[in-house]
């Protein structure tokens, strides 16, 4: 009996999003299921913590699971100044748009859940010795029957 969609959702998100990036001709983005723990450079996306809550349905012993997925987009561009920061931020939002497109075209995330949407996101930036970094932290909410 399935106890949670967490493992299958994580891998399905990676696969669906990589497919959408190709369809959108967005290249040079590394997508990982987990934070590698290493210092990342370039453009990357990873799916972080997944929180699960479950409630019982009144019939048949099945449950409804709500999954809250934290994810991160990181884009680094060499150089300094506002134009470099803006280029990094524009690229990060382009990647976020592709993620949104992937969920709109497949709300079931390869039949893993019955619905998955971007619930919100937060944009930020940082400077490094090499350049500017744009970061978008995003939250996904998915619903499944188990």
Q: Is 108 helix (H, G, I), strand (E, B) or coil?
A: coil
Residue ranges of E strands in 57-129: 63-78, 115-127
Residue 121 has pLDDT above 90, yes or no: yes
What does the block give as tokens for 104?
């709109």
Cβ 54 vs Cβ 2: under 8 Å: no
Residue 37: what pLDDT?
A: 66
Q: Which residue reads 């029957």 in tokens?
A: 145
pLDDT (tens digit, 9 = 90+) per residue, 96-113?
999 999 999 999 999 999
Residue 136: closest CA among 107, 93, 106: 93
Give domain limits for the chain: 6-131
Residue 2 has pLDDT above 70, yes or no: no
The average pLDDT across 85-103 equals 96
Residue 15 has pLDDT above 90, yes or no: yes
The average pLDDT across 7-20 equals 94
Region of residue 19 (left: phi > 0; alpha: psi -120 to 50; beta: else): alpha
Report CA torsion sign: 78, 79, 85, 90.
negative
Question: What are the residues whose beta carbons fall under 8 Å from the beta carbon of 44, sequence distance 6 or more?
Answer: 29, 30, 31, 32, 73, 74
Cβ 49 vs Cβ 71: under 8 Å: no
What does the block give as tokens for 114?
């019955």
Cβ 116 vs Cβ 142: under 8 Å: yes
pTM: 0.90
pLDDT (tens digit, 9 = 90+) per residue, 58-69?
666 788 899 999
């Amino acid at each position: 009996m399935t106890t949670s969609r967490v493992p299958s959702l994580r891998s399905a998100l990676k696969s669906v999003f990589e497919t959408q990036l190709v369809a959108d001709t967005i290249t040079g983005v590394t997508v990982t299921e987990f934070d590698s723990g290493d210092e990342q450079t370039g453009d990357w996306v990873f799916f972080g913590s997944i929180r699960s809550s479950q409630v019982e349905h009144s019939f048949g012993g099945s449950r409804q699971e709500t999954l809250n997925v934290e994810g991160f987009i990181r884009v680094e561009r060499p150089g300094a100044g506002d134009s470099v920061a803006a280029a990094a931020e524009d690229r990060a939002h382009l990647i976020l748009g592709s993620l949104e497109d992937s969920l709109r075209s497949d709300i079931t995330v390869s039949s893993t859940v019955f619905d998955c949407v971007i619930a919100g996101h937060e944009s930020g930036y940082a400077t490094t010795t090499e350049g500017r970094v744009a970061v978008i932290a995003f939250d996904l909410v998915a619903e499944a029957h188990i």
